[in-house]
């Protein structure tokens, strides 16, 4: 979303992947020697995987990078057909003023097993004229024969300090006034996802004025720490009905689903004034109810059940 903002913010001075200095140095070394292997970028969303692939292509090919770079999203075209048709057709064509082309497969962990087997053979056959960069959230979903053909780069979630530096730079370039509590809220809701942090900041800036904690939590449709703590305290005091009512009102007003609530509880459970044993029990229950929701259970019913379990821990 940053592209639709004004032209003031353009991080021309930034020449590395934020929060991943070692990865930057390795990629620069490949570009300098013009010798790029097959690569796999693995890690959570919003940590720079796609941007790194595009930046690599731009540094390597210059103005002709679009002719030598193909990006496909495997979550949209996940079957064997995309490997046999689109990818193979691009791989077999000659590169323009370069030794090889680059095919970037975003969200490659969504590829079916048959598609991955076909990709494995394609990577072997066209390795002289084409390099593959696979991006995924979970490298374990990529078959071992493909992993063994790739140099693996692991992207981690960004630390709060790194997110803060980026947002300070962005806010200064865009002329935004972000309060200290607003910045803390941005770090909290983004959870190390730089793309989410940028989008929330942009959404919070639309109405003008300073960006504070209230604006951030409102546009992010997220629970404030004190709201979560209040609900948990009531549940732990045995007041299940009031805790249920308060949480239900928050879910309706903010448009939250069950997984949002469980993540919010997970962030606050460590700050509660209860024994370590009780914290362990709550965390164990959260894992169980998150699984139920993911498997198709009713979010409202599962969240009520979780609150009931927490209430049962009352001394």
Topology of domain 160-219 in CATH is: Helicase, Ruva Protein; domain 3 (1.10.8)
Phi, psi of 76 (to 5 degrees): -90, -45
Confidence band for 220, pLDDT divided at 50, 70 and 90 = confident
Calpha distance 112→55 (Å, rounded): 28
By three-state DSSP, how is residue 33 classified?
Answer: helix
Q: Is the pLDDT of residue 76 over 80?
A: no
pLDDT band at 6 (very low <50, low <70, confident <90, very high): very low
Q: With H, G, I as helix, E, B as strand and everything else as coil, classify residue 3.
A: helix
DSSP letter at 87 equals I
Q: Are strands 69-73 and 39-42 parallel, antiparallel or unpaired?
A: unpaired
Domain extent listing, the chain: 18-154, 160-219, 225-311
Residue 315: the pLDDT is: 58
* Per-residue pLDDT reduced to its tens digit, 278-294: 888 888 888 998 999 88
Q: By the 8 A CB rule, do 229 and 235 touch?
A: no
Average pLDDT of span 255-274: 82
Residue 51: which residues within 8 A CB-CB, separation 6 or more?
Answer: 17
Taking the domain 18-154, which CATH number applies? 3.40.50.300
| pLDDT for the residue 62 | 87
The predicted-structure confidence for 31-52, as pLDDT tens digits, reads as follows 888 888 999 999 888 888 988 9
Read off the pLDDT band of 82 (50, 70, 90).
Answer: low
CATH code for the structural domain at 225-311: 1.20.272.10
Q: For 176-218, what is each residue's pLDDT tens digit? A: 888 998 899 898 888 888 888 888 998 888 878 888 888 888 8
């Amino acid at each position: 979303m940053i592209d639709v903002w004004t032209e003031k913010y353009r991080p021309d001075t930034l020449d590395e992947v934020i929060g991943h200095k070692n990865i930057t140095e390795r990629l620069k070394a490949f570009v300098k020697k013009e010798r790029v292997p097959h690569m796999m970028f693995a890690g959570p969303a919003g940590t720079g995987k796609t941007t790194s692939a595009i930046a690599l292509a731009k540094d390597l090919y210059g103005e002709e990078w679009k002719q030598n770079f193909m990006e496909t999203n495997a979550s949209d075209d996940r079957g064997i057909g995309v490997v046999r048709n689109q990818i193979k057709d691009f791989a077999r064509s000659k590169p323009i003023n370069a030794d090889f082309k680059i095919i970037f497969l975003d969200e490659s962990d969504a590829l079916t097993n048959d598609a991955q087997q076909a990709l494995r053979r394609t990577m072997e056959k066209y390795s002289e004229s084409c390099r593959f960069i696979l991006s995924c959230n979970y490298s374990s979903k990529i078959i071992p024969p493909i992993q063994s053909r790739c140099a693996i780069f692991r992207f981690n979630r960004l630390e709060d300090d790194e997110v803060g530096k980026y947002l300070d730079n962005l806010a200064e370039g865009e002329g935004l006034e972000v309060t200290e509590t607003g910045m803390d809220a941005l770090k909290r809701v983004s959870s190390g996802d730089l793309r989410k942090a940028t989008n929330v900041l942009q959404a919070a800036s639309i109405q003008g004025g300073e960006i504070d904690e209230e604006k951030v939590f409102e546009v992010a449709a997220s629970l404030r720490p004190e709201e979560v703590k209040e609900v948990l305290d009531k549940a732990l005091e045995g007041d299940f009905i009031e805790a249920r009512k308060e949480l239900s009102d928050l879910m309706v007003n903010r448009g939250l689903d069950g997984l949002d609530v469980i993540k919010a509880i997970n962030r606050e459970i460590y700050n509660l004034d209860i024994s370590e044993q009780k914290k362990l029990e709550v965390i164990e229950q959260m894992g169980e109810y998150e699984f139920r929701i993911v498997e198709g259970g009713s979010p409202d019913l599962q969240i009520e059940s979780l609150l009931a379990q927490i209430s049962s821990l009352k001394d």
